[in-house]
Amino acid sequence: MAVDTLETRELRYFVAVAEELHFGRAAERLGMAQPPLSRAIQQLERRLGVSLLERNRRGVSLTGAGEVLLHEGRAALDATAAAARRTRRAGGADSPAGSRGRLVLAVKAAGSHELLQKLLDAYAAEPDAAEIEVLPCGLCEQEGLLRDGRADVALMHTPFNSLAGFDSEELLTEGQVAILPTGHPLAARRTLSLSDVSDVPDLPLARWPRHGTYAPGPGPEIHDLAQLAQLVALGRTVAVFPDSARAWLWAEHTAVPLTDAPLVVTHIAWPPHSRSLALAGLIRTATQL
Amino acid sequence: MAVDTLETRELRYFVAVAEELHFGRAAERLGMAQPPLSRAIQQLERRLGVSLLERNRRGVSLTGAGEVLLHEGRAALDATAAAARRTRRAGGADSPAGSRGRLVLAVKAAGSHELLQKLLDAYAAEPDAAEIEVLPCGLCEQEGLLRDGRADVALMHTPFNSLAGFDSEELLTEGQVAILPTGHPLAARRTLSLSDVSDVPDLPLARWPRHGTYAPGPGPEIHDLAQLAQLVALGRTVAVFPDSARAWLWAEHTAVPLTDAPLVVTHIAWPPHSRSLALAGLIRTATQL
DNA sequence: CTCTGTCATACCCTGTGGGTATCACTGGGA
DNA sequence: TCCCAGTGATACCCACAGGGTATGACAGAG
């Protein structure tokens, strides 16, 4: 094998080991035996001329080079997976270059429903609109979906999502509201400030996972909006959301505008090297809404 | 092999064929015989369940899916090469995580010399500065160097470079000047407009390659600044450059400010997922200049 | 109607990626 | 103190995939 080329398989193996920090578990995750995995990693280190793992007593840790390869390798694996997914998607209707394809649009499960509706309606009215598949996702997953090709384009919300590494256009700016149980004393106020809702001992702010882990704090750990809505209705927590989230409010909830919360900007975002005509049309439609 | 995983080798093969549109030449470029290459591409098409190439009478052309895989595959190969290069670079001094490494900074060969000098001086004065390797490159290559890991960070100049897909910070905004042979009638003017220099039949604007090809036009095709300087001195062409390019003017050249040319903004740019401390320090230094 | 240029097929062989069995080492507990 | 559990490395073997050579099938140009 060429000495300066990294094979996808090697990256998969290394990332598994680097994430597990344990050859046995990594091998199991990869569906193979431990010895060939050890050998593959050794070969990789020899070929790169770099030591990636520190085999200590009782376990494994990453060297500096190992940390670099973990980050860069994940990015490379994402790009490779994206190539496969987008090619498959483009090939469904064995179509000539530049023809309409399908587009997968990732949206936060309950984010800016009206905007999404308007966008889909407007785009569908375009003369040669592609088919849009809407992929509802969790609270902060759009970046990953876009990176590994499960989605082609996404609606993102700063400052919750990061636009780093994507092209994007601004669509909508809005304030935030506190979602409170109807009947709570604060629900009667015309406006609130962030300190009002973050310092109430009997109403801790709910926490949701960022990159798979929960920030420390007193609030309940939630992972979908139904959970959150229920906890709010029960008077167990308070949540802060963009203005447009009022749309999914139930009868038991009250939304009170926050005066000092950061503005939420909805963007349409896509991988920077995209060249599809369908995508260009969707972006044009979105910016002209 | 897993049916949903694309190997680096397969991507290399496909990109070669897609670029050459000829199995024989592609095989030669890859240093292998033609039949195994044909077979590998067939296997790839079968595994993806998509036809990538149209084998016509007399040659090969890309299907829509093939075009997608060409773009996405190049990106994936770049990311993979970047992973290998950056890992090797990080591993040189078998260092613990987060330690100072070397950073490769890509700069246009003759772009903003003073800014670069100030940046290097200021950064070298930092308490734990990493070693900076300056990689001078051609007229528009920084994006590629950053993408495939030959560089870690670059000075880029909009609107000549595209910042798409990178994180960046603005450093400097400047106007543009026309570089003329001293003695040309236009060289005596205090200012010029773009139409002054672009419509002169005896002084066609020089053209340089963008993405490997030359735009059509009457001007001479050049590919480095020494060539350009010589042609200007000979009175054969005129060039338009950022203000700071005055620094490399020879005695035979005159710079005349342009009143209506787009402003050139120098940015420091880096791959969006970078996490190195050395890079963070360099960026901080640059923005505080 | 060849002849040339192209990609596909047939067939073989070697290198390597993977499996099983086992070793070497280290730390913890009785 | 000694043994054992748990870890990664080593030794050895095998199958097969990826690569080579020879050749076929086809289409256009002359």
Q: How far is B28 from chain A (nearest CA, A)?
A: 16
- State the residue for tokens 């709570």: A184
Identify the band that residue A14 occupies on the pLDDT scale cut at 50, 70 and 90.
very high
Query: What span, in angstroms and rounded, lies between the C-alpha atoms of A46 and A51?
Result: 8
Domain A8-87 fold is Arc Repressor Mutant, subunit A (1.10.10)
We find that the CATH architecture of domain A92-174+264-287 is 3-Layer(aba) Sandwich (3.40)
Q: What is the pLDDT of residues A33-77, one digit of tens each?
A: 999 999 999 999 999 999 999 887 667 899 999 999 999 999 999
> What band does B29 get if pLDDT is binned at 50, 70 and 90?
very high
When computed from its CA atoms, the radius of gyration of chain B, rounded to whole angstroms, is 23
Q: How long is the CA B101 to C1' D25 vector, in angstroms? A: 58
Cα B82 to Cα A4: distance, rounded to the nearest angstrom: 11
Q: Is the pLDDT of residue A211 over 70?
A: no
Nucleotide nearest to A53 (CA to C1'): D8
CA/C1' separation A1–C12 (Å): 21
How far is residue B51's CA from residue B58's CA, in Å, rounded to a whole number? 18
Å: A70 CA to D17 C1': 28
Mean pLDDT over B147-162 rounds to 92
Residue B176 DSSP SS3: strand
Decide if B80 and A76 are in contact by the 8 Å CB cutoff: yes
Mean pLDDT of chain A: 86
* Structure confidence by residue, pLDDT tens digits, B210-233: 666 677 777 777 777 777 778 877
Measure in Å the smallest separation between the Cα of A194 and chain B Cα atoms: 30
DSSP string, A141-167: -HHHHHHTTS-SEEEEEETTS--TTSE
Of the residues A10, A30, A68, the best mutation for testing chain B's interface (the one with the most B CB atoms within 10 Å of its CB) is A68
E strands, B112-270, are 131-137, 153-158, 167-174, 176-181, 239-242, 253-257, 264-270
What are the C-alpha distances in Å from A2 to residues A25, B8, B82, B171?
29, 11, 16, 40
How do beta strands A176-181 and A253-257 pair? antiparallel
pLDDT band at residue B93, thresholds of 50, 70 and 90? low
Q: What are phi and psi of A269, to 5 degrees?
A: -130, 150
Q: CA–C1' distance A272–C8 (Å)? A: 38
A134: CB within 7 A of chain C nucleic strand: no
Closest-CA residue to B257 (of B195, B189, B168):
B189
Domain boundaries, chain B: 8-87, 100-165+271-287, 176-257
Give backbone dihedrals phi and psi of B254, rounded to 5 degrees, phi first. Answer: -130, 140
Q: How far apart are CA A48 and CA A42, in angstroms?
A: 10
Residue A107 phi, psi (nearest 5): -135, 145
Task: Give the CATH number of domain B100-165+271-287; options: 3.90.1150.10, 3.40.720.10, 3.40.190.10, 3.60.21.10.
Answer: 3.40.190.10
For residue B69, give the nearest of A62, A75, A87 by CB distance.
Answer: A87
Closest chain A residue by Cα to residue B5: A81
Which residue has tokens 């009868």? A251
Whole-number pLDDT of residue A167: 95
| Closest nucleotide to A35 by C1' from CA | D9
Q: Is the CB of B33 under 7 A from strand D?
A: yes
A64 to B91: CB separation less than 8 angstroms, yes or no? yes
Chain B: give the shortest CA distance to residue A282, in Å.
18
For the domain spanning B176-257, the CATH number is 3.40.190.10
How many residue pairs bridge chain A and chain B with CB atoms within 8 Å of each other?
Answer: 195
Alpha carbon B163 to chain centroid distance? 11
For A235-265, what is each residue's pLDDT tens digit? 788 888 888 877 667 777 888 999 999 999 9
Q: pLDDT class for A100, splitting at 50, 70, 90?
A: low
Q: What is the mean pLDDT of residues B22-50?
A: 94
Those nucleotides of strand C lying less than 7 Å from any protein Cβ are 6-10, 16-22, 26-27
Residue B55 makes CB contacts below 8 A (sequence gap 6+) with none
From first CA to last CA, the distance across chain A in angstroms is 52
B8-87 and B100-165+271-287 share one fold: no
How much is the pLDDT for A97? 43
